[in-house]
Chain A
Amino acid sequence: MADKMVKKTGVYLCSGCDIGGALNMEALEKMVNSEVKPAVCRTSEALCLPEAWAAVEADMNNEGVNCVLLCACSSRDKTDVFAVDLDKLIERVPIREQVAWVSKPNDEDTQMLAEDYIRMGASKLKDMEPPVPWFQEDEKAEPIDKTILVIGGGIAGMTAALETSKAGYKAVLVEKESQLGGFANNFKKQTPTKSPWTDLEDPGVAALASAVQGDGNITVLTGTTVEKIKGGPGLFDCSFTGGKEMRVGAIVQASGWKPYKAEKLDHLGYGKSSDVVTNIEFEKMAKAGAIKRPSDGKSPDSVAFIQCAGSRDAERLPYCSSVCCAVSLKQAKYVRETNPDAKAYIIYKDMRTPAQMENFYKAMQADPGIMLTKGEIRSIELDADKSLGIEVGETILGGDIKLNADMVVLATGMVPSTLVEDDDAAGTGLTEDGKKAAASAEAGAMILNLGYRKGTDLPTLKYGFPDSHYICFPYETQRTGIFACGTVRAPMSVAQTVSDATGAALKAIQCVELTAKGNAVHPRSYDNAYPEFFLSRCTQCKRCTEECPFGTLDEDEKGTPKPNPTRCRRCGVCMGACPERIVSFKNYNVPMIGNMIKSVEVPDESDEKPRIIGLICENDALPALDMACKLKTQISPWIRFVNLRCLGSVNTVWVADAMSKGMDGILLFGCKYGDDYQCHFIKGSELCNRRMENISETLDKLALESDRIKMVEVAISDYQKLPQIINDFCAEIEELDPNPYKGF
């Protein structure tokens, strides 16, 4: 264990930007000297100007100041100036935004607000230690492995392995089939991926496979699947079928897709006539060399392509598989190239060829032998002349039409390889909202076979896709160091798959690099602290293992958590969950926040100055608060904000701390939760909301009204609404009697 830091604190007050006009700086300095008792305390007219900051740096370099309490603007500003070395600590007290700009100038309450914030900051510094990477404090720590395991040898997997190698890393590529290539092995041609976006291209699978096989950095294991993966990033221990075992650093899951089961498309004639085939069967036929009508081997004079066969269908596959329109255009071209007199019909709901693929659509439209119409299929029946009669309604060719074709090709959709099929529910394993599939895939896809307490596979979203829920962060993953890419996570084209697989390879490499430094991965990629468990006080309640959104913690037989520091994202959910308060980070812990709350001075009941604690998530709500303050909207001087990593880290003891200290209310600000959650740690704000029940119990025990505590969901863009929310709550608290515990 590292020795505790011997702290020497400097408190620096800035009077610029109207701070000095709103506060009595001399009095503030006096308060600091008498209460905080720092080695140095100085006030500057503009702390961010070079000469003023140089003086602070001189204190650090010459006077041994290693803890800086910087009372100036918000921590979102001037980060380029106010930076200290990693062996020093800095805490920023936003007296500009949260005090001077939002409160009555030269008012007693404003001054008290500034004093409290400084006390809170000083208290926080006292309870903080400079973080060190976990492996420096664990003598059994093993070196971080930087090999990347890629599961799935299709286009996505081969791309990920090859791009990994090109960056100088080793990759292991595992493919369950006996040869590489995956689904693309079936392709005769692929849709355009480059300018002029009108020509079919060679799928390039063979070339890719030989590049992979000839690459000295890549170990290829075909005919192999994963039996077990244990450990965490940098330390994954994998065993494969065939008895091979190895350690890897990060994992790319490129297990691909499977076709929607055509047996469920009997309403479109599948199974009734052998001349109704799927787009995959048709592609294989084309690749094999000849397009022939299955029933009699005749070269078809006409082929009808039915789009959205089972897709965009609430009863079957509600989503769009994205690529089928372009695929059918491609296959229509096969028909025309095979037999220039043959006709191809494409019946679609919407022709979905976005971006430059529009050029391909235009080029195919220009062929008079390809007839395209929007339409709804009414029926497909075998006619007496052996052709298939297709009745189409709502066409753009003028109402209902009837077509006859020698063959029908159903553009069936893509389902992820992670989908656990369950024929009970609408034939696809999907309940109406897809949640059943999501729940079962986590435990049942059996592709990763993780030896994690929280299940064998990546948690999935709707429809069984193990995708990210974040628009801005598409590689966000609920299992640190494991990144899904390609068609397993969303229907996508070959070009999109290549792009996605390259991105996943980068994330895998980035994960092992950050892990080797002891850092977390996104979003706290700058953080090298780690959760320390004081296990001798653990009661095996399992809340931490249950609640960790990232499946970080495993358990031993007794139920004691087994930390995996490299899986940890440093959100603090475990710290909030633990009733025994045994989890702490050097730079974030339960006593730290509790002591900050307790450092607030609570005036006597007779002063009629309520005190309210705002527990605020630093991801969205805190920037929103900062923005509200920057717009200089008045905010009640009764509230003091405490910044949290995530509302999921709220430990209910803080409520007891606040209430027994005499606080009149607590307002919690977190990200939006629910289906479209915006919490950056998946479930943090939702978990906090669930803990509110315990919090009510805490209040009951103290015989206090439950109205004293409220949780609000805040988006970063809500900053104009925030002052009203805060001020309304403060007004409600003023209506209540003062907390009777004041002065105890």
Chain B
Amino acid sequence: MADISKPILVIGGGISGVTTAVEAAEAGAKVVIVESNPYLGGRVAQLHQYFPKLCPPNCGLEINFKRIKFNPDITFYTDAKVTSVSGSRGNFDVTITLNPRFVNEKCTACGECEKVCATEVPSKFNYGLNKVKAISLPHEMAFPNRYWFDASAASLDELKKCAAACKYGAIDPDAKPETVTVNAGAIVVATGWKPYDMASLDLLGAGQLPNVISNVQMERLAAENGPTKGKILRPADQKEPESIAFVQCAGSRDENHLKQCSSICCLASLKQINYVRQQYPDIPIYMFYIDVRANGRYEDFFVKVAKDDANLTLVKGKVASIKQDGPDLLLEAEDTLTGKKTSQKVNMAVLATGMQPARNGLSIPGLDYDDMDFVISEPDTTGIIGVGCAKSPVEVVQCMRNATGAALKAIQCCK
């Protein structure tokens, strides 16, 4: 290997960032990952299953975490942020700010602090669908396996109580932010995506009608380690749904919201239709779509889910509004095949909200974004590499291919 002296900075420890990091490190590079969450794994850690195999994302994450654990060339900082960058390709001076380590590396995850903590806060991991203790594991399989204190929602007194219960000196109420500096040869921007803000979709009842949920919330409802232990229930009354509508392009392919197609939502909804079907073999399910974008061999998955399901109705049409109708929801849409306005009563609706790039206020000289906020990646000149959903809204396989290639582009900058 050509001498790779400087580390690669990877901003974002989701599946794209983690993959770039491990692939680069196993090829001989040094890598520093900076992740804003208190755990690695990003959005996919919150998914119940991947399409089309319907396998658990934690399986691949676990293998990758093992690769990180055994690799001395990878350093990672969670609950951290890149706060300043200067320099250029081959020579970036980077400042990383670590949020106060109220729970530090001495934590054994024994759970004693959680027992004495009285404050409950909405679960970030479960998109607010339930409450958790202010000091808790970010999620059951969190890596690193370390407790985290939500300082934004609980008092310092609460933290002091927790500190008194810790036998290992792992809780420090006086912790202050720290900074770390790194001289990096390349910067990989793997900042990922966020679900399009439901509040902007008021015509679809988002954020107002409790039985209208987003597709990311649906993942948590279906997950065994989610707020309902994997049982899909109506949030309003925790009852079993008797009918469900999936509303595609909720905020996507729409000049008033996100211009782009988020590319994964059709397949994600088909996957979620399968979740519902596994639990409710007979209830009516409706999917309102503009085009079913099951590209490539994902077509097989579309066929597998949609074929032979007599209670699944695919309606080509965009949903215009969702209103409460007694205990039910009333969807209004235009069926583009018949040209007729159609309305449908259901119990529960899942909005296929799109993927919006999560810029996280990141500003780096030389880093440009397009008008949809996706990274314009020109590593040969800038030394900055956009990867995964920061660059394009794509599914995991494409993120992984892209992340693996990004590892090589980054190595080239560090030569």
B405 and A499 contacting across the interface, CB-CB below 8 Å:
yes
Q: What is the distance, in angstroms, from A276's C-beta to the closest C-beta of chain B?
A: 24
Question: Of the candidates B260, B295, B408, which one forms a contact with A502 in the assembled complex, judged by CB atoms under 8 Å apart?
Answer: B408
Q: Is B257 at the interface (CB under 8 A from chain A)?
A: no
Q: Is A571 at the interface (CB under 8 A from chain B)?
A: no
Interface residues of A in 459-473 (CB under 8 A from B): 462-463, 465, 469-473
A168 and B1 contacting across the interface, CB-CB below 8 Å:
yes
Q: Is B370 at the interface (CB under 8 A from chain A)?
A: yes
Residues on the B chain within 8 Å of A351, using CB: 291
Q: Is A319 at the interface (CB under 8 A from chain B)?
A: yes
Tell me, in angstroms, the Cα distance from A350 to B293 when the chains sit together: 7
Interface residues of A in 329-369 (CB under 8 A from B): 350-359, 362
Interface residues of B, count at CB 8 A = 87
Residues on the B chain within 8 Å of A678, using CB: 53, 55, 59
A396 and B336 contacting across the interface, CB-CB below 8 Å:
yes
Tell me, in angstroms, the Cα distance from A514 to B1 when the chains sit together: 11
B392 and A355 contacting across the interface, CB-CB below 8 Å:
yes
Residues on the B chain within 8 Å of A195, using CB: 370-372, 374, 376
Residues on the A chain within 8 Å of B167, using CB: 16, 45-46
Residues on the B chain within 8 Å of A472, using CB: 15, 50, 57, 59-61, 63-64, 396, 400
Interface of A is mostly: loop
A398 and B339 contacting across the interface, CB-CB below 8 Å:
yes
Q: Do A715 and B56 contact each other (CB < 8 Å), given the known contacts A77-B109, A321-B296, A526-B67?
A: yes
Q: Do A474 and B371 contact each other (CB < 8 Å), given the known contacts A355-B392, A716-B62?
A: no
A471 and B53 contacting across the interface, CB-CB below 8 Å:
yes
Residues on the A chain within 8 Å of B28, using CB: 510, 513
B295 and A374 contacting across the interface, CB-CB below 8 Å:
no
Question: Of the candidates A473, A502, A513, which one forms a contact with B1 in the assembled complex, judged by CB atoms under 8 Å apart?
Answer: A513
A717 and B296 contacting across the interface, CB-CB below 8 Å:
no
A720 and B224 contacting across the interface, CB-CB below 8 Å:
yes
Residues on the A chain within 8 Å of B406, using CB: 502
Q: Do A470 and B60 contact each other (CB < 8 Å), given the known contacts A167-B412, A350-B292, A506-B27?
A: yes
- Nearest-neighbor residue (CB-CB) of B56 within chain A: A717
Q: Is B310 at the interface (CB under 8 A from chain A)?
A: no
Q: Is A106 at the interface (CB under 8 A from chain B)?
A: no
Interface residues of B in 67-120 (CB under 8 A from A): 67, 69-71, 105-106, 108-110
Residues on the B chain within 8 Å of A523, using CB: 63, 66-67
Tell me, in angstroms, the Cα distance from A499 to B408 when the chains sit together: 11
- Nearest-neighbor residue (CB-CB) of B339 within chain A: A398
- Nearest-neighbor residue (CB-CB) of B51 within chain A: A471
B58 and A716 contacting across the interface, CB-CB below 8 Å:
yes
Q: Is A620 at the interface (CB under 8 A from chain B)?
A: yes
Question: Of the candidates B48, B67, B224, B393, which one forms a contact with A355 in the assembled complex, judged by CB atoms under 8 Å apart?
Answer: B393
Interface residues of A in 498-553 (CB under 8 A from B): 499-507, 509-510, 513-514, 522-523, 525-526
Segment among B31-39, B152-160, B297-305, B358-366 that sits at the interface with chain A: B297-305
- Nearest-neighbor residue (CB-CB) of A465 within chain B: B297
Residues on the B chain within 8 Å of A45, using CB: 167
Residues on the A chain within 8 Å of B293, using CB: 350, 352, 354
Tell me, in angstroms, the Cα distance from A509 to B23 when the chains sit together: 10
Segment among A87-95, A134-142, A256-264, A488-496 that sits at the interface with chain B: A488-496
- Nearest-neighbor residue (CB-CB) of B411 within chain A: A167
B297 and A506 contacting across the interface, CB-CB below 8 Å:
no
Segment among A29-37, A578-586, A588-596, A623-631 that sits at the interface with chain B: A623-631
B408 and A320 contacting across the interface, CB-CB below 8 Å:
no
Interface residues of B in 122-143 (CB under 8 A from A): 140-141
B405 and A503 contacting across the interface, CB-CB below 8 Å:
yes
Residues on the A chain within 8 Å of B260, using CB: 355-356, 358-359
B63 and A619 contacting across the interface, CB-CB below 8 Å:
yes
Tell me, in angstroms, the Cα distance from A353 to B252 when the chains sit together: 13
Q: Is A656 at the interface (CB under 8 A from chain B)?
A: no
Residues on the B chain within 8 Å of A350, using CB: 291-294
Interface of B is mostly: loop
B337 and A396 contacting across the interface, CB-CB below 8 Å:
yes
- Nearest-neighbor residue (CB-CB) of B355 within chain A: A355
B291 and A352 contacting across the interface, CB-CB below 8 Å:
yes
Residues on the B chain within 8 Å of A76, using CB: 145
B140 and A73 contacting across the interface, CB-CB below 8 Å:
no
Tell me, in angstroms, the Cα distance from A523 to B61 when the chains sit together: 12
Residues on the A chain within 8 Å of B69, using CB: 79-80
Q: Do A499 and B401 contact each other (CB < 8 Å), given the known contacts A167-B412, A630-B140?
A: yes
A320 and B407 contacting across the interface, CB-CB below 8 Å:
no
Tell me, in angstroms, the Cα distance from A522 to B140 when the chains sit together: 26
B263 and A525 contacting across the interface, CB-CB below 8 Å:
no
Interface residues of B in 211-245 (CB under 8 A from A): 223-225, 229
A318 and B300 contacting across the interface, CB-CB below 8 Å:
yes
Residues on the B chain within 8 Å of A720, using CB: 224-225, 229
Q: Is A421 at the interface (CB under 8 A from chain B)?
A: no
- Nearest-neighbor residue (CB-CB) of B63 within chain A: A523
Residues on the A chain within 8 Å of B303, using CB: 314, 318
Tell me, in angstroms, the Cα distance from A676 to B394 when the chains sit together: 22
Interface residues of B in 360-400 (CB under 8 A from A): 370-372, 374, 376, 392-394, 396-398, 400
Tell me, in angstroms, the Cα distance from A126 to B50 when the chains sit together: 42
Residues on the B chain within 8 Å of A496, using CB: 398, 401
Q: Is A2 at the interface (CB under 8 A from chain B)?
A: no
Q: Is B6 at the interface (CB under 8 A from chain A)?
A: no
A320 and B58 contacting across the interface, CB-CB below 8 Å:
no
Residues on the B chain within 8 Å of A686, using CB: none
Q: Is B176 at the interface (CB under 8 A from chain A)?
A: no
Looking at B140, B401, B402, B409, the one whose CB has the most chain A CB atoms below 10 A away is B401
Residues on the A chain within 8 Å of B253, using CB: 358
Tell me, in angstroms, the Cα distance from A619 to B56 when the chains sit together: 13
Residues on the B chain within 8 Å of A465, using CB: 297
Tell me, in angstroms, the Cα distance from A715 to B316 when the chains sit together: 36
Tell me, in angstroms, the Cα distance from A350 to B302 when the chains sit together: 12
Contact digits for B1-36, partner A, Cβ 8 Å, 1 yes 0 no:
110000000000001000000011011100000000
A506 and B407 contacting across the interface, CB-CB below 8 Å:
yes
Residues on the A chain within 8 Å of B64, using CB: 472
Contact digits for A447-491, partner B, Cβ 8 Å, 1 yes 0 no:
000000000000000110100011111110000000000000011
Q: Is A690 at the interface (CB under 8 A from chain B)?
A: no
B397 and A471 contacting across the interface, CB-CB below 8 Å:
yes
B405 and A48 contacting across the interface, CB-CB below 8 Å:
no
Q: Is B330 at the interface (CB under 8 A from chain A)?
A: no
Interface residues of A in 679-696 (CB under 8 A from B): 680
Q: Is A18 at the interface (CB under 8 A from chain B)?
A: yes
B396 and A77 contacting across the interface, CB-CB below 8 Å:
no
B27 and A510 contacting across the interface, CB-CB below 8 Å:
yes
Q: What is the distance, in angstroms, from A617's C-beta to the closest C-beta of chain B?
A: 12
Tell me, in angstroms, the Cα distance from A364 to B317 when the chains sit together: 20
Q: What is the distance, in angstroms, from B236's C-beta to the closest C-beta of chain A?
A: 26
Contact digits for A154-191, partner B, Cβ 8 Å, 1 yes 0 no:
00000000010011110000000000000000000000
- Nearest-neighbor residue (CB-CB) of B20 within chain A: A506
B300 and A49 contacting across the interface, CB-CB below 8 Å:
no
Contact digits for A299-326, partner B, Cβ 8 Å, 1 yes 0 no:
0000000000000101000111110000
In the complex, 30 of the A-B residue pairs with CB atoms within 8 angstroms, ordered by the A residue number, are A167-B412, A195-B374, A319-B299, A320-B296, A354-B261, A354-B295, A354-B394, A355-B262, A356-B260, A356-B393, A358-B259, A374-B337, A394-B337, A396-B336, A462-B300, A471-B60, A473-B60, A474-B404, A499-B402, A503-B407, A506-B408, A506-B411, A510-B27, A510-B28, A620-B62, A676-B55, A678-B59, A716-B56, A717-B225, A720-B229
Known: A320-B295, A471-B60, A506-B408. 10 other contacts (CB 8 A): A16-B168, A77-B108, A167-B411, A168-B2, A471-B396, A472-B63, A473-B60, A503-B407, A717-B48, A720-B225
Could you tell me which B residues sit within 8 Å of A by CB distance? 1-2, 15, 23-24, 26-28, 48, 50, 53-64, 66-67, 69-71, 105-106, 108-110, 140-141, 145, 167-169, 223-225, 229, 253, 259-263, 291-300, 303, 316, 336-337, 339, 370-372, 374, 376, 392-394, 396-398, 400-409, 411-412, 415
The 4 closest A-B pairs by CB, nearest first: A472-B60, A502-B405, A168-B2, A503-B404
